[in-house]
Chain A
């Protein structure tokens, strides 16, 4: 986590997946599962990731936090060292090409306008935190954190799990801690479960929204931003 020294007056909360990058959580997990040591382990964990995919999709609109927990289970018993190295590889070889230029520009513009930009990621800190920090477009990055015991991942995410309805509570706590007026804050997100996050601020904006969020944005009269193809 990185925090700017000065106390911000206004913040912009941005969900990384969908606004800043076009790849989601499962892609990173699949990459790591495919590069575990040993052929048996690789096969088993890839199968586990494939099984988690439909569950993640099904839970996506209801309980995104649970979806994220299930999605990260294939990382169980993987060493912290391997996760760190594979995360570096994944970010450099795959994820960097999936960064949305319009998203980067949006965040830069927000910072120029004086917003304290807070990026929230469903992916783990080793992957998403690394990527977002390297882009140097955010003042603060919060990503999900894997739980480790004796240098090995337990497959669990540490609480609070970012994603879905937790986003609203996170934003309120964040604002309270820093004395921010949420009515003057902005939020950008692209998935249905982020409705709570968007509702928490005075100036919400749906970016490349999925069906649920687009419908909600229309009903709530929120601005919708679609990136050019």
Chain B
């Protein structure tokens, strides 16, 4: 059987990346540059958000720990190393032609061998307009661009959870004509429907009665607070509130449509829609859909435990270290977690297959078929990791002695001690403290009750947040038990073991307790707790090349040395 050598396949190739500022994008870019310097060139397409695109990526290179291995390997010579290999391209996937200027687009069309589209919105229930722009139109524009290229193939990053409300083993296939609940589906018509839905929702929210209602609310609020209801103040507040109302209505419209068709949220629905649209182009362009499961802390690259954001298993794991005892999940259900560096190896594998034009349409990248991890085990390992940490580093004796031994239990969402029920009890207690006490009580007692009610309201707010997180996660941790088949990546005959996708090698206990949890504690929990996250500053700042420089307009600045 013919085998693929990763180095020789990628040697001399030119890759265009979108969404390189995201968690997976950054790690893949760092891995590519660190492990495969043979690559001819990487173009990173990035939006200019208030500052030039190359400055944005430069900042990321100099402050994101994902690039630490590159800084360590090349030190002050990193700029020199990157100069011939990396170009920052200003653009925007949500715009036709990727928002590129014509000259840059022309060059890229001639040069690029592979386009990897990481761009997308990962919020579960975002404003429908943003979800369409990033997840659907971003994918279409990228595919259009690939189609206009001389020789490029497209690797589009999606998610395993496009499976929606399905159950059991999820094969690496795609039926663009059916939704997860069996409804007939036409992707092009669905995009038109979504645009219409957005327009209708915006018009509905622009009705005079909505504006009147908003105005009434504001006046009432100002009067309640004893503030002057000046017209200019009312108008400013009304404009803000109206924008928020439109956004909320669009979030709700997206969620409702997703649910109608069998997806748990707008994110998975719009990602699935993009897949269906891309599948229709598979006859015209070489395209592969890459579906990672829940991407978590790195096992080894860029270094063990690297993670960012707090939106995957983080909140659940965090709860295991609180006084909460019941988590709504189902015994033996699997949660498909995969370290980011394994995902990056999978991406490289799929890229190699695409470049050889021996690819499949769908590559799933998870662990549930070969190394399943159950909810019970996740909470057991999380509780044990918290135990190990709290015993030594708990801030109070209660945390060191009691909380460290306070194990979390997997239970039904309707259980007696569910978050919802606890919050209801706290709410009733708060109400009693605020309004239920007799009027003729001593002043000191009233003050104390107010103080308690204040604390109780804070607790209620936190519980409400937890409840919201639980509701978002419920489809994945309680309602469905997925096993994502991940055969296609394993079947790519990669020669070099360093790049082989091998989820079976993960030892969950070591990973969870010694890598993932310490990583979350270091990089993610501070964000949730409102604390400052550990910062990273590269010892030698790099200067990146924007397309203007690359295409011969501006002289490159020399490498800067930090004085601090």
Binding site for B on A (CB under 8 A): 35, 37-38, 79-82, 84-85, 89, 151
Contacts and interface: CB of A to CB of B under 8 A. Distances in A.
B509 A84 contact: yes
A82 B407 CA distance: 11
A81 B384 contact: yes
A84 B508 CA distance: 13
Contact of A82 (B384, B391, B409): B384
A85 B409 contact: no
B513 interface: yes
A38 B406 CA distance: 8
Given A81-B381, A82-B380, A85-B384, A35 B405 contact: yes
Interface in B367-403: 377, 380-381, 383-384, 387-388, 391
A85 B387 contact: yes
Interface of B: 377, 380-381, 383-384, 387-388, 391, 405, 407, 409, 509, 513
A151 B372 CA distance: 12
Nearest to A42: B405
A38 B379 CA distance: 13
A95 B115 CA distance: 58
B89 to A, nearest CB: 47
A86 to B, nearest CB: 8
B377 A81 contact: yes
7 contacts: A37-B383, A37-B407, A38-B407, A38-B409, A82-B380, A89-B391, A151-B377
A38 B377 CA distance: 15
Contacts of A38: 407, 409
Given A35-B405, A38-B409, A84-B509, 9 more contacts: A37-B383, A79-B380, A80-B509, A81-B380, A81-B381, A82-B384, A85-B387, A85-B388, A89-B391
A39 B513 CA distance: 24
Contacts of A85: 384, 387-388, 513
A35 B387 CA distance: 11
A38 B391 CA distance: 18
A35 B51 CA distance: 55
A173 to B, nearest CB: 32
A79 B508 CA distance: 13
Specify which of A38, A84, A85, A151 lies most central, judged by the most chain B CB atoms within 10 Å of its CB. Answer: A85
Contacts of A84: 509
Contacts of B388: 85, 89
A38 B376 CA distance: 14
A160 to B, nearest CB: 27
Specify which of A35, A79, A81 lies most central, judged by the most chain B CB atoms within 10 Å of its CB. Answer: A81
